[in-house]
Amino acid sequence: MTKSEVLRVEHYLREKFGNTTIAIRQRSTKDDSAEVMLGDEFIGVVFRDDEDGEVSYDFHMAIMDMDLPKVIPVS
């Protein structure tokens, strides 16, 4: 991902989620993706997909079971 793409996607995610602490960092070893951070915490990866001349970006966030609350009461 180019610096311009990183900034555009970062702006989109900040606007969409209403959170200015979202940051996207280019990866030194990959040019098709970038790391998504929430403050200092790594939360996922955004991938650039260029298929048939159409460019899209796929945000992937894994949620570990151990990070979820134990129980949520159902009413």
pLDDT by 10s per residue, the chain, length 75: 999 999 999 999 999 999 999 999 999 898 899 999 999 999 999 999 998 889 999 999 999 999 898 888 887
In the 3-class helix/strand/coil scheme, how is 7-69 assigned residue by residue?
HHHHHHHHHHHCCCCEEEEECCCCCCEEEEEECCEEEEEEEEEEECCEEEEEEECCCCHHHCC
State residue 9's pLDDT score: 97
pTM of the predicted model as reported, rounded to 2 decimal places: 0.84
State residue 20's pLDDT score: 97
What is the chain's length? 75
